[in-house]
Amino acid sequence: MLYWAVVFFMVALLAGVLGFFGIAGMAASIAKILFIIFLVLFVVALITGRRRL
């Protein structure tokens, strides 16, 4: 999921440089949402991670 957040961030940067502000804003918001979801899942995995006895 972090991979897709980075991909959408790169698309947003490229679109911003080329002047496609609508596409850049949409890709940036998707990247932000995916990154937040990734962080939440990462924290949940750390808290509930399986420990070997």
pLDDT, tens digit (0-9, with 9 covering 90-100), for 30-41: 888 888 888 898
How far apart CA 42 and CA 16 sit, in angstroms, is 29
Instruction: Answer yes or no: is 36 within a domain.
Output: yes
Instruction: Answer yes or no: is 52 within a domain.
Output: no
Instruction: Answer yes or no: is 25 within a domain.
Output: yes
pTM for this entry: 0.66
Return the pLDDT at 10. Answer: 86
How far apart CA 44 and CA 39 sit, in angstroms, is 9
**How many domains does one find in the chain?**
1
Instruction: Answer yes or no: is 53 within a domain.
Output: no
How far apart CA 52 and CA 35 sit, in angstroms, is 29
How far apart CA 10 and CA 28 sit, in angstroms, is 9
Q: Which domain holds residue 40?
A: 2-47
